[in-house]
A and B are shown apart, each in its own frame.
Chain A
Amino acid sequence: MSDRARHPPRGLIGAAPAPPDDFVAAGPELRREGGFPVGWLIAPATLWLLIFLVLPLLSIVVFSLWNTREAAEELGFTLQYYGEYFIAEGFFDSTSRNFLSTSIFIKTLGSTLYFTLVVMALCLLVGYPIAYFLAMQVGSFKWQMALFLLCMVPFWTSYLIRAVAWLPMLGRRGLLNKMLVGLGIVDKPVGVLLYSEFGYTTALVQLYVVLCIGPIFFSLAKIDNAILEAARDMGATPFQIFREIIVPLSLPGVAIGMIFIFVMLMGEFATAVVVYGGKTSTTGTVILNYYAIANYPFAAVNALVLMLAMMIGVVIILKLVDIRKEL
C-alpha cells in the first residue's frame, strides 16, 4: 500500500476530500439555519461582475450591430459588418479574384483555430505523462506536492516575460541552434526556429502546458488505489489498467484542462507578436488592430464571432466528456 492512498492530496487548490459522512447524511434541512444573510454576501461580487463582465460583453454585442457609418443623428443598427466579416470584397463579382472566397477574417480565425488545436494536442501529449508521474509514481505526499508546485510556479509568474525568454533560445545565434550544431544535427545555424511556426508552437506549448497538468493531476490523484489493486489481482496487465481504468477516470480532468487551454489560445495575441514577430495574425491581433484605428464595429464583430467559436468549442468538449463529477 503506498503512502498516497493513506494521505489523499490536500493541496492549495481543489482536490478536497469528501465532506464527512454525517454531514451528507444529515442533509441541509437538519442543519440549523445560521450564517450571514445570503443577499449581503453575494451583493458586492454580483454587482462587480455585472459592471466588469456582463456589461462589457453586452457592449461588444451592441457595437457589432451599431451602424457608425451613418450620420450620428440617424442612430441605427445594421448587419453589414457581419456581412463584410464573412465574405471577401468582390464575393459576388465573377471577375474579381475574391469571387466566392471567404474574407481574411475567416481565414485568420481558421489559422487561429489551427494553432489552437495543434498546441492543445501537444500540451496533452507533453502534460499527461507529467500529471501521471506526479499522481501515480511519486510515493510520498510531500514530494508529490513539492514536484507539483514546481510545475505550477510558472503559472504564477509573468506570461509575457516567459514569452520574451524564448528569444535567446530560438534565434539564429540562439541556444537551440548551438545545441543542434554541437550535436552535429545541422551544419550551420538554421533560421527557421524563431519567427516561425515551429518557434511559435513550441513557445505556446511551454506557456500553456501547466494549465492542463493541474486538472489532470487532480483527477488522477482521486483514483482509488483499491480499484487498481483489484484490477491487478484479477490479472489485468499494466496497459489494460491504464486503458480501461486510468484513462476513463482522468477524462474529466483532461476536459477541464483542454477547455482552459482552448479559450486562452483562441484569445491569444501577445505571443504571436513576441515570438512570431507579428508575421502571423490571430483573431486577437486583428481585434486590437481595428481597435487601434478606432474601427470599433469591426473589432466587435471579430470579438463576437471569436466568442461564438469558443462557446461552440467548449460545448463540443463538454459533449464528449461529462465533467460534472469533477465539480
Chain B
Amino acid sequence: MARWTPERRRKAAIKGGFGVYYAIFLVFVYGPMIAMFILSFQGRRGGTSFPMRGVSLYWWEKLIQPSTVGDLQGAMLRSLILALIVMVITALFSTMLAMAFRKRFWGSGVLFYTVMAGLMVPGILLSLGLATMLQTIGIPPAWWSSALGVHVVWTLPFGFLVMMAVFNRFDSRLEEAARDMGADEWTVFKEVTFPLILPGIVAAGLFGFTLSYDEFARTTLLAGEYNTLPLDINASMTQRVRPTLFALGTASTIFSLLMIGLFLVIYTILYRRSR
C-alpha cells in the first residue's frame, strides 16, 4: 500500500470530483428515461406525471390492444424489417467502399466527401428533396423504397468510418501470402480477409440497424402510406399525451438496448476469435 502523500491525495480528490460529475451527467442523460419507465406503470387513474397513483400494467395492456393506438404492431414490424435491410446494405456497402479505398483511385476524394455528406445533410433537407423529386416524377414514396434510400445515406458514413479504421490496422501481408500460394481473389477474401474484418462488419451493422430503427427526420415525408414506429410515436404526440406513450417509449428503448447488447456480445466474441 503506497503512502498517502499530499500529491496523491490531491490527485485522488480531482479524480473523485470528476467521478461525481460523471455520475451527475449520467443522471442527466438517463434520468428522464428512467422517470418515463417508472411512469409507464402508472395506475389506471394516474396521469403523465408523478405521483404514482398505484401501480398497474393498465397502460401496457392498452399498448397491446390493437384498437387503441392504431396500427402499432404493423409500425413496429415495418421499422424492424427496414432496420434489418438497412443493416445488411450498410454492412455490405461500407465494406466494399473501405476495400476500394485501400488503393488510391480516380475520384476517391469526391466519393469520400460524398459519403461523409450523408452525415452532414440534415434529415429534413433529404426528406424534402427526395419527396419533391418523387412527386415530380410521379412515384409515390414508401417506407421500403424512399425511406430505405435515405436511411442508408445516413448510416453509411458511420459504417464506412468503422471499416476504414478496420482496414487501417489490417496487415495486407496475410493476403499477399495467400496470393503467393496461388489463391484467387475470392478465396483470399473468403479465407483471409473476411474472417479478420468480421467484427468490424458487425460494428458497421450495429450503426445501420440502430440508427435506422430510430430514424425520424429522414422518414418524415418519405414513409408513404404506412408509418414506421418513430412516425407513429410522433403522431400519437399530437393527441393528448397519455402514459401509453411512455409504455411505448419504454418498450422501444428496451428493444434498442437489447439489440445494442446483442451486437456488443457478438462483436466481442468475433473480435476475440479473430485475434
Closest CB in chain A relative to B58 CB, distance in Å: 17
Q: Which of B59-67, B70-78, B95-103 contacts A (4 or more CB under 8 A)?
A: B95-103
B36 at the interface (CB under 8 A from A): yes
Q: Which of A83-91, A129-137, A244-252 contacts B (4 or more CB under 8 A)?
A: A129-137
**Closest residue on chain A to residue B245 by CB atoms:** A164
Alpha-carbon distance between A208 and B121 when the two chains are bound, in angstroms: 16
Residues in B whose Cβ lies below 8 Å from that of A44: 92-93, 96
Contact A169 B121 (CB under 8 A): no
Contact B221 A42 (CB under 8 A): no
**Closest residue on chain A to residue B189 by CB atoms:** A36
B179 at the interface (CB under 8 A from A): yes
Alpha-carbon distance between A165 and B136 when the two chains are bound, in angstroms: 39
Q: Which of A93-101, A102-110, A295-303 contacts B (4 or more CB under 8 A)?
A: A295-303
Closest CB in chain B relative to A204 CB, distance in Å: 13
Residues in A whose Cβ lies below 8 Å from that of B234: 160, 270
Alpha-carbon distance between A2 and B237 when the two chains are bound, in angstroms: 50
User: CB-defined interface of A244-283 with B at 8 Å, one 1/0 digit per residue?
Assistant: 0000000000000001100110111110011000000000
Closest CB in chain B relative to A247 CB, distance in Å: 17
User: CB-defined interface of A165-183 with B at 8 Å, one 1/0 digit per residue?
Assistant: 1111101011100100000
A41 at the interface (CB under 8 A from B): yes
Residues in B whose Cβ lies below 8 Å from that of A129: 18, 21
Alpha-carbon distance between A274 and B36 when the two chains are bound, in angstroms: 15
B124 at the interface (CB under 8 A from A): yes
Alpha-carbon distance between A19 and B172 when the two chains are bound, in angstroms: 11
A306 at the interface (CB under 8 A from B): yes
B171 at the interface (CB under 8 A from A): yes
Residues in B whose Cβ lies below 8 Å from that of A273: 237
Q: Which of A45, A165, A173 contacts B97 (CB 8 A)?
A: A45
Q: Which of B36, B50, B126, B133 contacts A178 (CB 8 A)?
A: B50
Alpha-carbon distance between A59 and B124 when the two chains are bound, in angstroms: 14
| Most central of B49, B102, B135, B237 by chain A CB within 10 Å | B49
**Interface members, chain A 145-196 (any B CB < 8 Å):** 147, 149-151, 153-154, 156-162, 164-169, 171, 173-175, 178
Closest CB in chain B relative to A259 CB, distance in Å: 8
Contact A41 B131 (CB under 8 A): no
Contact B26 A60 (CB under 8 A): no
Contact A52 B149 (CB under 8 A): yes
Q: Which of A56, A161, A167 contacts B253 (CB 8 A)?
A: A161
Residues in B whose Cβ lies below 8 Å from that of A137: 14-15, 18-19
B241 at the interface (CB under 8 A from A): yes
Given contacts A164-B36, A291-B221, contact A14 B161 (CB under 8 A): yes
Contact size range, A: 35 or more
A31 at the interface (CB under 8 A from B): yes
B6 at the interface (CB under 8 A from A): no
**Closest residue on chain A to residue B172 by CB atoms:** A31
Contact A28 B103 (CB under 8 A): yes
A13 at the interface (CB under 8 A from B): yes
Closest CB in chain B relative to A158 CB, distance in Å: 4
**Interface members, chain B 108-154 (any A CB < 8 Å):** 111, 114-115, 117-126, 128-133, 135-136, 146, 149-150, 152-153
Contact A151 B179 (CB under 8 A): no
Alpha-carbon distance between A66 and B161 when the two chains are bound, in angstroms: 38
Given contacts A59-B132, A156-B210, A175-B35, contact A168 B49 (CB under 8 A): yes
Contact A164 B249 (CB under 8 A): yes
Contact A42 B111 (CB under 8 A): yes
Closest CB in chain B relative to A309 CB, distance in Å: 11
**Interface members, chain B 8-27 (any A CB < 8 Å):** 14-15, 18-19, 21-22, 25-26
A126 at the interface (CB under 8 A from B): yes
B216 at the interface (CB under 8 A from A): yes
Residues in B whose Cβ lies below 8 Å from that of A120: none
Alpha-carbon distance between A41 and B230 when the two chains are bound, in angstroms: 33
20 contacts between A and B (CB under 8 A): A23-B171, A38-B103, A41-B100, A45-B115, A48-B156, A53-B126, A53-B153, A56-B125, A60-B132, A63-B132, A130-B22, A151-B25, A151-B26, A156-B214, A161-B33, A169-B31, A263-B121, A299-B132, A303-B128, A306-B122
